[in-house]
Structure 1
Amino acid sequence: MTTETVAQALLDAQVAWAINRLTGDELPELAAKAVDDVLAIAESTTMSSLADPELIKSIARTIAATVPPSTAASTLVEHSAEVVLSNPAGTYTLREVVDRDHVERITDEALGLTPLVEKVLDDLTHSPMTAAIASRFVGRIVNDVVAGNRAMAEKIPGVGSLVSFGTKAAGKAIGKTGEQFEAFFGDTAAKGAEFAMGRLNKIIIATLKDPATRDAVLEVFDLYADKPIGRLDKVLSLDDAKRIGGLGQDVVITAAASEPVLKLVDALIDGFFTVYGESPAAELLDELDITRDILVEYAVAGAPRVFAAAQESGELDRVVREQLSPFFSSSEVAAILEGR
């Protein structure tokens, strides 16, 4: 046999041996051994030596820019809308997914932000349109109260006609005054809307500061906690769900690629390496409560499927052969075979 023939025979034998190990009964043992080897490296290697923070940032930025607008993302958003509407969880109650203790804590945290809410509401008074809407809102409440009182008064003999007369007279007076008000005191009208919003803000803040508000929130939770949550397909069509999902995707596409978000991602990555950069990689696994047994379990369960699929497609033989072939065709191997 020539040197080339022997080298080819050795390559074929090596490929067959490797594939047999990757697809035969030895694979579970190989998978467990691979996990142990990785963990051994993790015990003596720090995170900063395994990964460059700048490279991780670059990868994160690439993902943020390319994944949200991708075809796969759009497809998954549409499919997710279908899944959500199909109600895969069946019938369940709010208490099954939200713990009451968490509702209490969230309520306390939210009510603790009342000073911030007050500041935001005060800032909103400088928006003419927002102030105008608030003024209309207050006006509707007042009108509803007046209408309710009138309806009750009209049920009393002798009082109904008096209230009716007074309301009509007041309406005409307000109407005339309002026309003059609109015509000559536009700026004052704006100030009036701002004043109305200020009063509404005070009502909102006073409500948030009321100790009874916390009890009211928890009472609402208790009221609905044990009732079955309604199916979304009863209130949303599939087209509606897809449209809402698409809108959410559009928001993510814009936000994820924006510089403020990318800088936040960079800062989070820097923070991660500040905390764990000089620690052994195995320490991170410990703090994540990921044990060796968990890793082995998934490696042993997943590896056979991966290699079996690769073998069925014919790619496993090609990949193994391409990795080993340069060695057996090298001048070093040829020299060894020629001197045998």
Structure 2
Amino acid sequence: MAKKAAKLSSKASALLDAQVEWWLARLDAKALEPWLEAEVDALLHDASKLKLEEVVSRKTVQEIARHYAAEMEPHGAIPELVGEIAQAVQAHPIQRKTKLGELLPDRHFRHWLDKLLELKEARAALIHAGLSNPVVHTVAGDLIYRGISGYLAQNSLTKSIPGASSMLKLGKSVLSKATPKLDAAIESTLRKYIQQSLDATLRESESSLQTLLDDHLLRESALEIWAGLKHQSLAEARATVSTGDVEELFVVGYEHWRSLRKTEWYSAVIDAGIEAFFDKYGKTHLAELLDEMGISRKMILTDLMRFAPPALAALKKKKLLEPLIRRWLEPFYSSPAAAALLAD
């Protein structure tokens, strides 16, 4: 239970009222800006004498970052809010007016493309991983089998012999009815042969792809595709993805993030980032650090004057500002030290 404040003497009460009025006048809109300017200048002057590591330790920042990024469970209202915001963004009329090319001008697209084309090792690894995938092997084998079967059934030689096509169909029908095991065995042998030769075929295909997909060809192909896409609006570009799909993708991503943030890797990355920041700026004075981050005196004052006056006006309108100031000051005037001073 909070300790009950001592009763104020008449002199202490009068001083408290006077100081409360002084602060109310100081926080008035007209007097606020010059006072804030003086305070910001004084704070920036003090910041030039303080180094980052003198104010806060890297360990403290790491603990706070891990708490909010990896340990604290986000409230259920957050994903719901994000989903509603995503719906509002998708439904906004600007999506129908804005073209892809407006958000990604040609020069920026070319910069991204040129950088991606420089990643030759990554491209080679991607092609290798794709052609080594068991699913690719299965699909490729099935396509080759169907191609061979179709060729044997409809090649030009059998078409040139009168009645050969009909006889081939009849023979196949009879064979499948009379000796189903033999027909299955032939198919199995053919498929087995295809799969055995497929590894070598895909290795050759990988080598051919690496040779054929040179930078010039890829660049020209990408630019041609972009030329057909950049005039589409954002609404047209996402026409095949519904709002429900976007929400489900967000849910999947959110659940993945929730599990990822519990891993050792996630915390290690946070710690490493903070270590690197303190290694670079730990001994830097705060004023210099603000300059490095692009935070100027003008920016600080602009934001203060953007938010402080309306907030103070709202507190005054609701008659909350005067009680707030009084709560800050009254404990001092009711303290034994103030009582002794006033008695003297």
Same fold (TM over 0.5): yes
| Deviation digits for residues 69-117 of structure 1 (CA, Å, limit 9, x no counterpart) | 3234213321232123213533112221113333223223323333234
- Structure 1: runs of 5 or more not aligned: none
| Deviates most, 139-148 or 324-333 | 139-148
Say if 2:40 and 2:301, in contact at 8 Å, map to a contact too.
yes
Identify which of 20, 23, 36 aligns with 1:18.
23
Equivalent of residue 267 in structure 2, options 256, 262, 265: 262
Inter-partner Cα distance in structure 2 for 1:93 and 1:215: 22
User: Deviation digits for residues 173-215 of structure 1, max 9, x if unmatched?
Assistant: 9964332467xx6xx8875565565455445434443531122
Matched residues, number: 327
Q: What is the identity, as a one-letter code, of the residue corresponding to 1:134?
A: V
Distance 1:141 1:100, change over 3 A: farther
Bigger Rg, structure 1 or 2: 2
5 Å matches for 1:1-340?
A: 4-66=9-71, 69-87=74-92, 89-90=94-95, 91-119=97-125, 122=128, 130-131=133-134, 133-139=135-141, 142=144, 176-180=185-189, 194-195=199-200, 197-209=202-214, 211-231=216-236, 234-339=239-344
The structural deviation recorded for 1:239 is 2.9
Distance change (3 Å), C-alpha of 1:40 and 1:255:
same
Cα pair 2:8 2:333 within 8 Å, conserved? no
**Equivalent position amino acid for 1:309 in 2:** A
Q: Distance in 2 between matches of 1:164 and 1:111?
A: 54
Which amino acid letter does the alignment assign opposite residue 104 of structure 2? Answer: V
Structure-1 residue corresponding to 2:3:
none
In terms of mean alpha carbon deviation, does 207-216 or 92-101 score higher?
207-216
**Take 2:162 and 2:295, find their aligned partners in 1: how far apart are those partners?**
76
Given that residues 134 and 200 in structure 1 are in contact (C-alpha distance below 8 angstroms), is that contact kept between their aligned partners in structure 2? Answer: no
The question of whether the paired residues in 2 share the 8 Å contact of 1:47 and 1:281 is answered with yes
Q: Deviations over 1:103-142 (max 9, x none)?
A: 223223323333234346546777xxx32x1123324655
Name the stretch that deviates more: 50-59 or 216-225: 216-225
Q: Distance in 1 between matches of 2:271 and 2:249?
A: 30
Q: CA deviation at 1:324?
A: 1.0
Unaligned regions of 5+ residues in structure 2, if any? 1-6, 177-181
After TM superposition, give the deviation of residue 269 of structure 1 in Å: 0.9
The answer to whether the 8 A contact 1:77-1:249 is kept is no
CA-based RMSD: 3.9
Q: CA deviation at 1:249?
A: 1.2
- Provide closer, same or farther for how the CA distance between residues 119 and 24 of structure 1 changes in structure 2, counting only shifts above 3 A: closer
For 1:257 and 1:6, locate their aligned partners in 2 and report how far apart those are by CA, in whole Å: 59
8 A contact 1:46–1:279 mirrored in 2? yes
CA distance in 2, matches of 1:242, 1:319: 43
